[in-house]
Each structure stands twice: as structure tokens, then as C-alpha cells.
């Protein structure tokens, strides 16, 4: 599989002893069968409330200093709530090389807008824009171009993303 940079997908799992990251058996956020755990997210003191802030139990508080494959919709809701100043803003929590490119395809795009009945209008824009803003910081120009080309294709369905 390729990541959002068009390169080999990297594992999200960072510790052999960690079996709670919603990844596949090899530690990747792959979910090719239509699953939604595709955002590789670093949990630390600033992001420890991710699960509570996305209306789940507070499991993320127990995963500090670990990565986790987050749901597309949960990530988008998290960023939408931050943009509305409902929860504290965070940044640089993504492990971009471990996010599969399929997360940015038309097959998956509508999953960014759904999250357990707690959705905010058009949260996809917040989710994708935040992903691009974090992941565009790579030094590799070819990777930047690949990511922007993926996003440009999505703009046909959601013109307001990454303006």
C-alpha cells in the first residue's frame, strides 16, 4: 500500500507490545475492507482527550506516548470542534507517512463526515484541511505534489477543501 505521499505506507504501531491501536496485524492503518481507522495519530499530553472530545469513552487518556489508527469521522469531528473553539486546538499529531492514500479517495470521502451521530456540518473540510496543513510540511517536494494532487481530485466533490 501507498501512503498519502505516494510512497510505501509506514506502520502506525511503534511498540511491539502495543496491541490496542486499531491497526491491522502488521501495525498499519490499512483497513482495505472499507474500514475507517486510517488516521495515524500520536497521543500525548495535548491530545490525550481525543476520545472524550469525540464522544467516546476516555480510552485515549490511557494511551499517552502511543500511536493509534483513528477513525476518519472522529478525526474530522475533533478538528471541527477545535475550529469552533469547543475544545483546545492541537497540531502536529499526525504520522503522515502512516496514513494510507485510500483515505483520500472518493470511495472513503463520505466517511469523513460521519461519526456516531455527533457530526458537525461539513466536518470533512476541517478534517482534510487539518491533515493537509500538517502533512504538507514534508521537505520532499515530490511528496507534497502527490498529496496536493490527491486533494485536488476531492475538490470536485467538496470545492471548499484546501482553498
Which residue ranges in the chain fall short of pLDDT 50? Answer: none
- Has residue 143 been placed in a domain? yes
Instruction: Supply angle C-alpha 58, 28, 23, rounded to 5.
Output: 35
Q: What is the pLDDT of residues 42-87, one digit of tens each?
A: 999 999 999 999 999 899 999 999 999 998 899 999 999 999 999 9
Domain range for 42 is 37-154
> Which pLDDT score is estimated for 59?
93
Q: Is residue 160 part of a domain?
A: no
CB atoms within 10 A of CB 78: 28
- On whether residue 89 sits in a domain, the answer given is yes
Give the per-residue pLDDT at 44. Answer: 96
In a domain? residue 135: yes
Task: Give the residues across from 40 on adjacent strands.
Answer: 69
| Any domain includes 121 | yes
Cell 485510500, residue located: 102
Per-residue pLDDT at 163: 67
Q: What is the pLDDT of residue 34?
A: 60
Q: Is the residue at 57 inside a domain?
A: yes
**125, 161 contact by CB (below 8 A):** yes
Residue 28 in any domain: the answer is no
Torsional sign, CA 53, 57, 63, 68: negative
| Total domains, the chain | 1
Which residues is 3 bridged to in the sheet? 100
Amino acid at each position: 500500500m501507498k501512503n498519502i505521499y505516494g510512497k510505501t505506507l509506514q506502520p502506525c504501531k511503534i511498540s511491539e507490545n502495543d496491541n490496542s491501536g486499531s491497526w491491522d496485524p502488521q501495525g498499519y492503518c490499512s483497513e482495505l475492507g472499507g474500514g475507517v481507522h486510517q488516521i495515524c495519530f500520536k497521543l500525548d499530553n495535548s491530545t490525550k482527550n481525543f476520545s472524550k472530545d469525540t464522544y467516546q469513552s476516555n480510552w485515549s487518556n490511557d494511551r499517552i506516548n502511543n500511536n493509534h489508527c483513528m477513525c476518519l469521522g472522529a478525526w474530522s469531528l475533533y478538528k471541527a470542534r477545535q475550529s469552533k473553539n469547543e475544545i483546545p486546538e492541537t497540531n502536529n499529531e499526525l504520522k503522515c507517512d502512516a496514513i494510507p492514500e485510500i483515505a483520500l479517495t472518493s470511495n472513503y470521502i463520505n466517511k469523513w463526515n460521519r461519526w456516531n451521530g455527533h457530526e458537525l456540518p461539513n466536518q470533512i473540510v476541517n478534517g482534510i484541511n487539518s491533515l493537509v496543513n500538517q502533512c504538507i510540511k514534508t521537505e520532499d517536494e515530490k511528496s507534497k505534489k502527490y498529496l496536493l494532487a490527491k486533494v485536488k481530485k476531492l475538490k470536485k466533490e467538496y470545492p471548499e477543501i484546501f482553498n
